[in-house]
Amino acid sequence: MSGLMISVPDRGRLNWLAVILLGLLAGCGPAEVVVKGNFPAPLMQKVPITLGVWYDEDFAHHEFFEEAKTKTESSWLVRTGEAQVQMWDSLLNGMFQRVLPMNGKPGPGQMNPSVDAVLIPHVEELQYAIPAHTSVKVYEIWMRYRLQLVTTGGQPIADWTMTAYGKTPTAFLQSDQEAVNLAAVMALRDAGANFATHFTRVPAVQEWLQQRQTPAREATL
């Protein structure tokens, strides 16, 4: 009888411990965010060139992982690749007379469509700042891009860096994931605005555009 009397509370204790263990295991995974947002095309006078665009694998599937530094923090996995491509496609189609995706990375002998130049964007760095208190869901995200403008043969035309910043505009959100997503969307929109504003001001790009216009002027004289 004594064995029977002991087994019942032991079984209950084991069940309770199993629930706690499952909860701990479920909490071990990172907080994951697949960035989703709306990225309208800019309303501006289009640059009169046919632009090719090439997204490499790292860019098209870009993600950022940061491991928790303490037991009270969460690890984060933020996937921005899909949103990156969506934003840049919308941006470039609003900025340029014609935009064509490349079949492969620009280089000698590569069978790509005929374009005036090819843009290759890279995300070089992404950082985020978490709120000081969990009740205030305001996050900040900072990104640094490297942008390459090359010929279809891969010859460099211009190479420059650009930063973008996004901050959750409100603390009244349902979850930390929503706050991170919104901060990432704001950073992507900032990247689009910066690129649209500064593309023709990049010295090497400006020089290239002027060289393209010079033969046209000479032909009309």
Q: How many whole angstroms separate alpha carbon 96 and alpha carbon 99? A: 7
Give burial (CB, 10 Å; 0-12/13-18/19+) of 186.
Answer: buried
Answer whether 90's CB lies under 8 Å from 41's CB.
yes
Percent of the chain with pLDDT over 70: 80
Report the pLDDT value the prediction gives residue 135, as an integer from 0 to 100: 59
Between the two ends of the chain, the Cα-to-Cα distance in Å is: 111
Report the pLDDT value the prediction gives residue 175, as an integer from 0 to 100: 83
DSSP for residue 135: T
Report the pLDDT value the prediction gives residue 155, as an integer from 0 to 100: 96
pLDDT over threshold 60, residue 17: no
Q: Which two tokens stand for residue 33?
A: 């965010």
pLDDT over threshold 70, residue 133: no
Report the pLDDT value the prediction gives residue 136, as an integer from 0 to 100: 67
Domain ranges across the chain: 30-220
pLDDT over threshold 60, residue 9: no
Residue range 109-131: mean pLDDT, rounded: 91
pLDDT over threshold 80, residue 24: no
Report the pLDDT value the prediction gives residue 10, as an integer from 0 to 100: 53
> Between the CA of residue 13 and those of 5, 38, 129, what are the distances in Å?
13, 50, 41
Q: How many whole angstroms separate alpha carbon 31 and alpha carbon 64? A: 12
> Between the CA of residue 195 and those of 40, 105, 131, 139, what are the distances in Å?
14, 21, 29, 23
Report the pLDDT value the prediction gives residue 176, as an integer from 0 to 100: 82
Query: 23-32, 94-103, 125-134: lowest mean pLDDT where?
Result: 23-32
Q: Which fold has domain 30-220?
A: Rossmann fold (3.40.50)
Per-residue pLDDT tens for 70-93?
Answer: 776 778 899 999 999 999 999 999
pLDDT over threshold 90, residue 12: no
**What's the pTM value of the predicted model, to 2 decimals?**
0.80
What's the whole-number average pLDDT of the chain?
84
Residue range 39-58: mean pLDDT, rounded: 96
